[in-house]
A = this chain, B = another copy of it.
Amino acid sequence: MASARQIAGPCQEWPEDSVFIREVLDRIGDKWTVLAIGTLSAGTLRYSDLHASIPGISQRMLTQTLKHLERDGLITRTAYAEVPPRVEYELTDLGRSLMDAVTAMARWAAAHHSEIARNRAASELTGVGRGKVAVSASAD
């Protein structure tokens, strides 16, 4: 009678979308990208402003993050040939659209973080990895 139960068929082949999502997550999944984008969503900012607005970020990481974002066309970088140097960063339309997507994720996060925190706390008590233990009801 029916192969055991409603077991979903394994999808050996991942759709192209999952390839794309991995690329995006590789970009925004790091420690600073989202913060940088979020900060720039307020408008044009220069390097030192960003550095000040993102507490804890090192120059190395800020520079790297901005480079990556610029490379992907999510922000623009404008250097002014002055002394001392001045460089301004700004979100592109593409960057803003990503910001929207991130905002959507943030909404989900805001809506469920307490539930997750609760689950996590509960797991601490019961011990994770135990899960439910069902009795083997399958006749035999």
Contact = CB atoms under 8 A, between A and B. Distances in A.
- Give the number of times this chain occurs in the complex, counting copies: 2
A16 B70 CA distance: 27
A42 B82 contact: no
Contact of A35 (B18, B100, B110): B18
Contact of A73 (B46, B55, B116, B136): B116
Contacts of A71: 119-120, 123, 128
| Complex A-B, nearest 10 residue pairs according to Cβ-Cβ distance, in ascending order | A29-B29, A8-B43, A77-B131, A73-B119, A20-B109, A10-B53, A8-B42, A82-B136, A101-B108, A21-B106
Contacts of A112: 94, 97-98
Interface in A18-62: 18, 20-25, 28-30, 34-35, 38-40, 42-46, 49-50, 52-53, 55
Interface of A: 5-12, 14, 16-18, 20-25, 28-30, 34-35, 38-40, 42-46, 49-50, 52-53, 55, 67, 70-74, 76-82, 87-88, 94, 97-98, 100-102, 104-110, 112-113, 115-116, 118-120, 122-123, 128-136, 138
